[in-house]
Amino acid sequence: MFHGFELARRDGDGVRLRVRYGGSGPAVLLLHGHPRTHATWHRVAPLLAAAGHTVVCPDLRGYGESDKPPTDDEHRPYSKRAMAADCLAVMRGLGHERFAVVGHDRGAYVATRLALDHPRAVTALSVLDAVPVGEALRRCDATFAASWWHWFFLGQTDKPAERVINADPDAWYEGTPEAMGAEAYEDYRRAVHDPATVHAMCEDYRAGLGVDRAHDDADRRAGRRVRCPLQVLWATRDDMADLYGDVLGVWRDWAGGPLTGGPVASGHHMAEEAPGALAAALTGFWRGAGVPGGA
């Protein structure tokens, strides 16, 4: 898994992250979703490296083997702003001042926040299976609540979800070695069997319902947009189109530059299920956008 890549712990913004990196050329940062670790990218990262990119894949704070800082009443240590600051620090520590960013699921919220908060650093943004947190909650209806009820379950504090999940993590989380790859599956399984990781992942969702939404709503009111070229991809066997219809239309108010994208024939975890198609879509987007690369 990740042949030729290095595995290390690197400094984030006051925490240390487990990071896998390799390749050479224009830098790209890959951000995983819930409940995965950086290992979800193990089929895509070598393809991007072979295409001439330096590829960096961290475990987000709280996830996998990255640090899990104490939280507060507003869950700010697990805000996407804090996670984005981690990512910027990691990339700068590796010598990359400018880079493309790809985020899936919860990682897409971090990637978007990184592009909004640090526009000079991000050359291109690719969002997989997500709309902004603030948009999702603003548009929330009965269909969303029925399909994405886990947002509200994981976000509870009065009756925390951790007790339910930790009673039987294998029953709660899905994944198989056949679908994910044996090493990636074992990495993910170690994570979800760690109560500290489960707590941190719930904190991610608690931040999403509060401080992250507040940050998105403030940006929306201020007319702040993603300045770099923006690509939005969604899986055909997921529910993004059912929830939002015109997925690109949701993002038009957030795009201050070129906007492109479309469906990928895959289930939700497209990096695992359709790595070749995803890698081709990403590299094609970067070429078409004329994205500069490297530090």
105 is catalytic: yes
* Catalytic entry in 59, 105, 129, 238: 105
Query: What are the backbone angles phi and psi of residue 232, rounded to the nearest 5°?
Result: -125, 120
Number of H helices, E strands in the chain: 16, 8
Cβ 109 vs Cβ 210: under 8 Å: no
Burial of 264 (0-12, 13-18, 19+ CB in 10 A): buried
Name every residue whose Cβ is closer than 8 Å to that of residue 104 and which is 6 or more positions away in sequence.
31, 32, 33, 40, 128, 129, 130, 269, 270, 271
Q: Quick one: 29 exposed, middle or buried, by C-beta within 10 A (0-12, 13-18, 19+)? A: buried
Identified catalytic residue from 11, 13, 118, 268: 268
Q: Are 155 and 145 in contact (CB under 8 A)?
A: no
Please, which residues have CB within 8 angstroms of residue 164's CB and are 6 or more apart in sequence? 172
Pairing mode, if any, of strands 54-58 and 27-31? parallel
Tell me whether residue 268 is one of the annotated catalytic residues. yes
Picking from 19, 17, 16, 15, the residue whose alpha carbon sits closest to that of residue 6 is 19
Which active-site residues does the annotation give?
Answer: 105, 268
